[in-house]
Amino acid sequence: MRCLGPGALALLLAVLPAAAARADEGGGASRPPAAGRYTGRVGSVPSSTRAKAALNTLEISRPAAGGFQLRIHLEWAGGHLCDLSGPAQSAPDGSLRYTEAVASGPACELRVRSIADDLVLSDERAACRRLYCGNRAGFDGVRFSVRSRRPN
């Protein structure tokens, strides 16, 4: 068994806190995503319609009453859309969660998670898709770069 020398041990102790902080900025973060307007493209939009297509947006705001407000607009090929807006709550894992009861079938539960440098939408049971999206559109797995964030 080899032991670390004093220089290597000092270097290791200096690097570990920075590495742990970087890991916390990714999927292990316990803070909700920052309020702002995130933009990007989803799916495969043909180049002939790309110039005409509206930018896909995820807006997160913090109303004075507390909690969060989400607005999501996604455009997929063929004009298929997803539009959702409503209140969201911060979950213990740092994600934002929008929930809506549905009369028949599973409840709509949409999550916005920070994973590395992206905000990722999760609609695991596709219940939100059935309520708020066209035939060939959906929320699950859509990513927005945190670098695209602009203030509300």
The residues, ordered by sequence, that sit 6+ positions from 29 with a Cβ below 8 Å of its Cβ are 94, 114
pLDDT grade, residue 15 (50/70/90)?
Answer: very low
pLDDT at 18: 41
**pLDDT band of 3, cuts 50, 70, 90:** low
Which residues, in sequence order, are CB contacts of 91 under 8 Å at separation 6+?
97, 111
State both tokens at 38.
């995130």
Q: How far apart are CA 32 and CA 54, in angstroms?
A: 27
Question: Which one, of 49, 62, 79, 80, lies nearest residue 71 by Cα?
Answer: 62
Please list, in sequence order, all residues whose beta carbon lies within 8 angstroms of the beta carbon of residue 134, skipping any fewer than 6 positions away: 76, 79, 80, 81, 82
Instruction: Give residue limits of the domains in the chain.
Output: 36-148
Side chain identity, residue 24:
D
pLDDT in tens, 92-115: 999 999 999 988 889 999 999 999
| d(C-alpha 106, C-alpha 114), whole Å | 25
CA angle 69, 73, 76 (to 5 degrees): 155
In sequence order, what are the beta bridge partners of 86?
A: 70
Mean pLDDT, the chain, whole residue set = 80
Backbone angles phi, psi at 59, to 5 degrees: -115, 130
Confidence band of 79 (pLDDT split at 50, 70, 90): confident
pLDDT at 71 over 70: yes
User: Smallest Cα–Cα separation from 28: which of 87, 73, 90, 95?
Assistant: 95
Residue 18 CA to residue 97 CA, distance in Å, equals 29
